[in-house]
Copies of this chain bind each other. A is one copy, B any other.
Amino acid sequence: MNLKQSVEQKVKASKSASRVLSKASTETKNRALLYMASAIKTKANLIIKANKKDILKAKKLSKAMIDRLTLDKKRINEMADSICAVAKLKDPCGVIDKMWKRRNGLVIGKLRIPIGVIGIIYESRPNVTSDCASLCIKSGNAVILKGGKESINSNLAIYKLLREGLKKAKVPEDSIQMIDSIDRKAVSYLLKLDEYIDLIIPRGGESLIKMVAKESSIPVIKHYKGVCHTYVDCDADLNKALKIVVNAKTQRPGVCNAMETLLVDKKIAKEFLAKAVKKLISLGVEIRGCEKTKKLVKGIKKAKESDWYEEFLDLILSVKIVDNIDDAIVHITKYGSSHSDAIVTEDYDKSLKFLKEVDSTCVYSNASTRFTDGYQFGFGAEIGISTDKIHARGPMALDELTIYKYIIFGNGQVRK
């Protein structure tokens, strides 16, 4: 069997498994999740052994990459705990969103159901394997996992244990599949199987996501990057603004919801930047300012045009002085990535204007953009973040892994 056939065979098996899984009770799905967690916990040694192989191969990678790759007893226990936490979440399926009666007596209901078969294409961190698998199982979806080649041994070890859990709970093992070929073509084959796969969620860097979006004939939900802004208005509480700006930039600079550009109203720019830049520099942040900013703050770099589009994912911040809120919104519309943007102001009308007019997935008034996250939103989980315009936006969790069908109760009605 060649690679194409082997990918297709797995995907077809997923489709069959999804038909059984979609009908499984909440109890059965939870039982499967607990067995999956238990297999991971009790056979952690198998994962550690496989992980060592990956690390040995990874010698050429950066220290940060190796750290992301490494699994120890503690991290493996956390993986298992996450699966147990998913088991405790509310089952999103079977809920009837609404139900109404027509004049002819037909009763129409909108019933939440699993999407079907979901493909996850991801990079490096092996815990994505168990995180995504557990969310898909809980929401009744079969999942096809395709991880990066650098963590292939770890992923496979985790995958096998997850399937042990499914088997023990009498849920079809094929509900979790893994494409284990490191041949780049495997992904291309996968992305054309729109007859069997209903949704692709890529998780990783911009280039991976762009490749997936370009090649896929299956619907993709994605976000390319997070060029997040904070606009400090002239009517801001500047102490609040300082706290928010410092948090949004420095609390965890390497993630998509961290701030990349600070926009400051010219009327308070001198006062605010004096404090803010000092504080940010003391925390190791490199500032790249517009012309006006450079005049107010000595010794900083000038921002290039390309900097305004940049997701630094690092302790670097572009700073621009704007005329007013409209000017700020124009900047965000032009350079932003529709991810997360914030205004800091005590002015009611401007707060509402910003929330209305900024066309981003998550728009904040007086809070740090760092809250764009499934856990922080109270969803109890996160399978990814979407900046697309259909199906789901922002943090995606269990609800976003479902869709609806209409169920119609009649009593002999016919159309006139």
Contacts and interface: CB of A to CB of B under 8 A. Distances in A.
Given A113-B359, A361-B405, 12 more contacts: A22-B359, A116-B359, A199-B389, A219-B219, A244-B412, A351-B409, A361-B406, A363-B407, A366-B409, A368-B410, A376-B415, A393-B404
A389 B244 contact: no
A367 interface: yes
A56 interface: no
A390 interface: yes
A415 B361 contact: no
A106 interface: yes
B115 A408 contact: no
A310 interface: no
B403 A367 contact: no
Q: What is the copy number of this chain in the assembly? A: 2
A313 B363 CA distance: 48
Nearest to A194: B213
Contacts of A378: 100, 102, 108
A415 B357 contact: no
18 contacts: A19-B333, A19-B359, A106-B371, A108-B378, A116-B389, A198-B390, A240-B412, A244-B414, A251-B415, A363-B406, A363-B408, A365-B410, A367-B413, A367-B414, A368-B414, A371-B408, A376-B415, A390-B391
Nearest to A415: B370
Contacts of A366: 409-413
Contacts of A371: 106, 408, 413, 415
Interface of A: 19, 22-23, 100, 102, 106, 108, 111, 113, 115-116, 198-199, 213-214, 217, 219, 221, 237, 240, 243-244, 246-248, 251-252, 333, 351, 355-357, 359-368, 370-372, 376-378, 388-391, 393-394, 403-415
Q: At the interface, is chain A mostly helix, strand, loop or mixed?
A: mixed
A415 B360 CA distance: 20
Given A363-B407, A390-B115, A368 B413 contact: yes
A357 B23 contact: yes
Contacts of A106: 367, 371
Nearest to A100: B378
A188 to B, nearest CB: 16
A69 B41 CA distance: 67
Nearest to A102: B378
Contacts of A351: 409
A361 B111 CA distance: 10
A194 to B, nearest CB: 8
A393 B367 contact: no
A174 to B, nearest CB: 17
Q: Ordered nearest first, which 9 A-B pairs have the shortest CB separation?
A: A367-B410, A247-B414, A370-B415, A198-B389, A240-B412, A391-B391, A366-B410, A390-B391, A367-B413
Contacts of A406: 361-363, 372, 377, 393-394
Given A19-B333, A199-B390, A412 B377 contact: no
B237 A389 contact: no
Given A198-B390, A390-B115, A405-B361, A414 B370 contact: yes
Nearest to A410: B367
A375 B213 CA distance: 35
A251 B414 contact: yes
A198 to B, nearest CB: 4
Contacts of A390: 115, 198-199, 219, 221, 390-391, 403
A406 B243 CA distance: 22
Contacts of A102: 376-378
Contacts of A116: 359, 389
A404 B406 CA distance: 21
A412 to B, nearest CB: 4
A412 B367 CA distance: 5
A344 to B, nearest CB: 8
A377 B108 contact: yes
